[in-house]
Structures are given as C-alpha cells and as structure tokens.
Chains A and B, each alone.
Chain A
C-alpha cells in the first residue's frame, strides 16, 4: 500500500472522485493550473481537464454561492477556501443558504457541497492563517463539519464528505499536511513516513462521518480531541503518566456522542483539548454533553484545555498553542480531584 502524507491523501481522494463521478468539480483560488498553495490539487487540472478543476476569482462569497447553485443543478462541487480564516466572507452563503436550502424548500433543493479549507495553528501563521472556526459552524443547523487527523482518515473522510448529500465544511489541519505534530515544537520535524495511518489505499474507500476513533485505550480518563490536537493529546497523555483513553472525534457534526459517553462512563474523567479559543468553543458543547449524560459517572470536573480568548498571536505562538504540557497538567489535576 502506498505511503502518503496528508496532502497526497487529500489529492488522491479528489482524484478518485473526479475519476468516478462526472458531476464533481473543484474550484477555488489558485487550485487550477498551479495546483493549490498547499499542492492539494496538484496535477488534477492536467489529468482531468480545465472544467473539472479551475481557478476562481478572489471572492469567497462568490465561490460558495456558485457552488450552491451548481449543487442545486445537480452537481457535486468541491470548492476550496484557501485558509479557514478567509471563510467568513462566505458565512452568509453557508449559514443562510447552504445550511437551510433543503429545510426551507422541503427537499426540493439541496446543496451537496464539500468546502475544503486548511485550518489551525502551530505554523507561525499569526491572526489570519491560524484560526480554528469549527465552533462557529457547529452552531449552524444543517451544516456538517469534519476534521481529519491523519492521511488515512483524510482521504476516507473527504470521499465520504463529497458523497454526502448535505453541505460539509471539511477543515484540514495544515500543521499536519507534511507530518504529525505533537506540539513539541523544539524537536525536529517529523514526516508521515513510517506512520501506520500514512498507509493509504490508492483506490476509493470511505471513513464514515459521525464515527469517532479510539486512538489510545485507557481506563483513568477520557481525552477528547480532533485535528492536530490528537497528536498533542498523545504526547500530553504520555507526559502525564495517566492511563487516559484518547478519542479522535473526526467529525464535529455529526458527533459520535455514543463513543464519548461510553468512554467517559468507563473512565469517569474527561479532558477536552482544542486549538480554538475556549469561550464559546466546541469544548463547551462537549463538556455540557458529558455532564448531562455521564453525571453520575464523573469523578472530577470536566476540563477544557484550549487556545486563549485572544486573537491568534504571532510572536506568542507557543504560549498560545495548547501543547502537551498543558494537557498533562489538566490530566493530573483531573486525577487529584
């Protein structure tokens, strides 16, 4: 089986879908001839033709509006937003249109679009190349939000998202494009080579939406994470010495609440880890769900380790980024309670 980094896995997913479904097409800023600023669409225009993968004007609202119209016609568009930080000009299209079209038309029209967008920090991206907007989309009824943490899932989840008949926001942790990253920024960069999750089938397969993965089994606490934070969590658990179970949510919506509840009922403790700032973050929803459903099993308060409630800074990258040490501290605190 070929070894792929996350970029190659995503590229492979797109290649498979362009090959198998003539109604799919890709467009976005710099995705055509050039192949994308992160190379995710590299070679696709050359292989599949200009109308299947093409450049778009710098207009996020226009890109998503066009995609919705194409979806209403019967196509399965896969638009790209260059950075999740720049998805906001399309917010009205996503919230008022894509998310509501099926509901308000009683199923006459719908928007089977998959909006790919690199997200997350840890790359000295500063305020507008680092944000994690998943909680904003999680609050919108009618949108699905998917976040992979490794090449195998990235390809399988992306194919599943494209085949899904509902609008999907597909957030790609750009920090993980070239290799896993556990937050130990002072250490040498790793590549995906040698990682079991970098063994990626070349053909079509899916990883279903709404199914979390248990990345590490444990008995003393449950850690909930997604994206880059899955790798940070593994490192943090190791540092803490706590036998924690790590769940990679993989999709924010639909959420695999059963997997979360089963784990917390087993361990009795829960720590939530995400890059996005804490207040109003998705961790709040996870914490509430755990509290509501596992109250009598909880041995300590649910904790949230998250980005600070500030814009994403530049010079303070590693003071902001919730690294393994902060998770380890939270886990130890959870054990002491």
Chain B
C-alpha cells in the first residue's frame, strides 16, 4: 500500500430530507436587475457570465424592473395569468379524477405554469414546441379544447389519440405541440432536426424544446447541443430545472458543481439562467433567444429555474424523500401569486377578480370533465378496437390485417 489517502466515493445529498427544515441556501439567486441583458446579436464569447446569473424581472413586491423587463401590455399579462390558472385548475381536477379511479395516471405541473404559458404566448403559431409531460400551460395558453384533453386522459371513445397513449402524453400539431412519449429526452434532438429543416428550407419558423434537469444526464442532451451548435440550428433549448427528478434532487444530475445553463459554454452556445417562476423573465429570455435564432445566430440554452411543487406523478409520494413544506419555502415563490401581485400593483387586477376568475375556470374545467365523463372514463368507454391496429405503418401490412381478423374485428 502506497502512502496515499484512501479514495472516497462522493454521493451528493440534498440539504433537507423529510423532517428537516427546508433549506435553499445553496440556491444561486441574484436580485432582479443584477443580470445584464446583452444585445441580441452579441458574440457568445462576450456573455459567458450569464449562465451564473439569473434573469429576473419581478421582485418580491411585484415590481417589474431591470434590463430584461419586456414591458408587456396588460392584456398579455392577463392572458398569461389565465393560462396559468387554467392549468392549475385542470391539474387539481384531473388529479382528483385519478384518485376517483377515472383514469390510470396523471401528472401535475404545479409551480411551473409560467414557463409554458409565457413561451406559448410569445412564439408564433408556425414555431414548434417539443414538450415534456409537464408543460400543459403551453396548450392552455393556446386554448386547446379542454374536452380533448379530458377525453385523452380518460382514453374514451373520443380520445384524439385513439386510446393508444398514456394519459397526458398529448400530441397537438396545430397548436405547435409535438407528440409526447414516456421515454425522457429523446425528443430534444428532434427539435434541433426540425430547426435544421426550417433553415434548410429557408423558412422563418423556429423550434423550442424542453428537457427536465434530471434528463440532462441522458446522452440525448449532449447530442442535441452538439448538433445545435455545429449547424447553428434556430432553436431554443430549455432545461426546466424544477430541482427534483422523481426522488432525486438536482445534485444527482450535476447541479452541485455548476448550473445547467453553464453546460452551454462548452458547446459555444449562449446560456441563460432564468427565474422560471417569473412570467416576465421567461418571456424576456425567450424573446431574446428567439431573436437570435431568427437572425441565424443559432441556438440558446435556457435554464428555467423553478420548483416542482407537487409530487412527480399520481404514483409518487414526495413526503418520502423531501420536507413536506419545501414548496412553501422555495425562494422564488409561486408563479401565479407573483404575476397576480404584479397585476394588482399595476392597478389592473384585484383579489375579487382573481377569485372570480379561479371560480370561472374551475367551472369551465368541471364542465369539460363532465362532458368527457358522459362519453366515458377509463374502462367504461374506448375507441373502436380496430384503432389498435391503425397507424403502425401508413398502410397496414398483412400481419396487422391478419391479427385484426384474428381478434374478430
């Protein structure tokens, strides 16, 4: 044995576990205005500090300030608020529907509603978003019919995906929302390919992709960033860092050593770190990255710093691995509350109207759920079984046709 210290394997641990006081003192959170806004056409080499900052617009008092303030009209803010509240109302109602046995599975996006809402409202109809399963607010901001969401979740006779997919793995091409799948990360590179295609055709539309911070550990993340950089793809590549990948804290994905935005540096891409609970900051960062993409300056990596306020899914109990009150202690607060405070401060909103809107949206969701229930919930109604055999190929081959007959259809 040589005279050297014994090596030790390091296993990162979160600061707080069940029973502990929530602790976020490792969180890197500069004040609004602290993080500079470079010119859109700035060279990547001149903004390598940005991945360690945090793009913020709203302060705790609900005031918008600093170089990233997008100065949005009140109607846009109200549209964003509506999309966020609708997402929340829908999540609450459908989560309960799962508990009542009406569907097999559900996933909420509580606490992360600002992300999809702002980006969906900002981007054009011809742009394409490559979502994760936690950006329902994208569809809500574009008024995707609630009834279609409910029918998909219940896999009933009117399910737009014909009962083939797990609940919430939507596909909505006309709404700029790419087909979801249960395997994580594998669509991140599709966004880059889609963006390359748009450039190849001389089009003017861009792609936006989401990936969770946990999934950045997949090879798909590295591949997508490499391709985005090499081909200068007009894409906005977003990491939604909600601190948790099921039960694993973000340190297991590498967050203790660096920021996810900083991963951009090695690829020669600009990296922005953004307050994901600040509707205005998400909007401003997206606007900046979209301008770069549309100027043929290529892709931007955006880390959206947020917190997964609910469990991972209906199959998960977060009190088994993190403090039960951790969400309340999250220093960036709640996106809905923060935008509400801002709107009230602007004199454009008040508590009464807020409560009335929540009641109105809940009624809207309830009506959609009721309508879908009338068609049928899981196991009570389903599309024709012949749909099981459709769409494997554009035209069925003999195997599918024979097997369909074997089943007597």
- Chain A positions near chain B (C-beta within 8 angstroms): 23, 25, 51, 56-57, 59, 61-62, 65-75, 77, 89, 92-93, 96-97, 100-110, 141-142, 144, 165-166, 210, 253-254, 257
Contacts and interface: CB of A to CB of B under 8 A. Distances in A.
Interface string B161-197: 1101100010111000011010100111111111111
B190 A74 contact: no
A196 B217 CA distance: 53
A145 to B, nearest CB: 12
B197 A73 contact: yes
Contacts of B183: 92, 96
A102 B183 CA distance: 16
Contacts of A92: 183, 186
Contacts of B178: 72, 109
A61 B220 contact: yes
**Which interface class (under 10, 10 to 19, 20 to 34, 35 or more) fits B?**
35 or more
Nearest to A65: B189
B145 to A, nearest CB: 15
Contacts of B394: 102, 110, 165-166
B99 to A, nearest CB: 26
Nearest to B130: A69
B257 interface: no
Given A92-B183, A92-B186, A66 B227 contact: yes
A144 B393 contact: yes
B187 A66 contact: no
Contacts of A165: 394
A77 to B, nearest CB: 8
B162 A74 contact: no
A104 B171 contact: yes
B302 to A, nearest CB: 19
Given A101-B179, A106-B171, A110-B394, A66 B196 contact: yes
Given A97-B190, A102-B394, A254-B398, A59 B196 contact: no
3 tightest Cβ-Cβ pairs between the two chains A and B: A69-B193, A65-B189, A62-B223
A210 B397 contact: yes
Instruction: Among A72, A102, A165, find the residue whose CB has the most chain B CB atoms closer than 10 A.
Output: A72
A55 to B, nearest CB: 9
Contacts of B28: none
A69 B190 CA distance: 4
Instruction: Among B186, B191, B391, B393, find the residue whose CB has the most chain A CB atoms closer than 10 A.
Output: B393
Interface string B54-86: 000000000000000000000000000000000
A70 B392 contact: no
Nearest to B169: A104
B392 to A, nearest CB: 5
Contacts of B201: 23, 73-75
Contacts of B226: 57, 59, 62
Given A102-B391, A104-B161, A109 B186 contact: no
B408 interface: no
B385 to A, nearest CB: 15
B251 interface: no
Interface string B394-406: 1001100000000
Given A65-B223, A109-B173, A104 B197 contact: no
Given A65-B224, A102-B391, A108-B173, A253 B187 contact: no
A260 to B, nearest CB: 12
B186 A65 contact: yes
A114 to B, nearest CB: 14
Instruction: Among A23, A65, A96, find the residue whose CB has the most chain B CB atoms closer than 10 A.
Output: A65
